[in-house]
Amino acid sequence: MRPLDELINEAESALPFVTETALKCPGRCALHPASPAAADVLHRTQVTTRSPMGAIAYHTGGISVLDGWLRILGSGSTAIPRTLPDWNQSRADGFYLVADDAFGGFFALNGGALGNDGNNLYYFSPKSLNWVALECTYTQFLLWACTDFKDFYDDMKWPGCEEVISRLAPDRCLFFYPPLWTAECSLPPAQIRDVPVAEAWAFQMDAMQQLTRTSP
């Protein structure tokens, strides 16, 4: 592993870019203060602060977008109580989880397990229970998240969902019944509750594996 002093580059830090990007749309993003464990988080993540991901890991506790609609992971904070390395431990294998959303979706950098396109971003969709290639880099993902989702969430949101999402605790996401990936699910949902993000991840990974085993 590279030592910490090789990962911190104050002269060419990406922090100004990260801050400018997070503030492009006033009121959209909250940039949280770095945790006391930021140096350890950066060292375990092994990404230089010259990159946006490294700057977020070292200089911030993460970024909340639209009151927790999307959470970009950093060194952890009361607003996003998960760190990049801790959240990936025992979960990531050939990819690296970098963000998640209120619907139970997860964003990951591809390390080879999700395709042959290098470090591109993928989205684990709770609608399809599949990893979907976004055909963008982490930097492009950050710009997208902090400025405009466009039509990305159109098939999961409903009128008034913003208020429901704004009431979510920072370590929880929505769970729909019937689940989003079933034909029986309709929006607005008949039943909805919130669950820990870790529970949503485990449940969906298990459901994906079961569906894969039973598919012809």
Rounded CA gap, 193 and 188, in Å? 13
Q: Helix-strand-coil percent breakdown of the chain, rounded to 5?
A: 30, 25, 45
Average pLDDT, the chain: 94
* DSSP per-residue codes, 126-155: TTTTEEEE----HHHHHHHHHH--TTTTTT
Question: Check: CATH 1.20.1440 for 4-150?
Answer: no
Rounded CA gap, 194 and 172, in Å? 6
Contact yes or no for 31/19 (Cβ under 8 A): yes
What residue ranges do the domains of the chain occupy? 4-150
Q: How confident is the model at residue 190 (pLDDT cuts 50, 70, 90)?
A: confident
Q: What pLDDT was estimated at residue 103?
A: 97
46-84 pLDDT per residue, tens: 999 999 999 999 999 999 999 999 999 999 999 999 999
Contact yes or no for 70/100 (Cβ under 8 A): yes
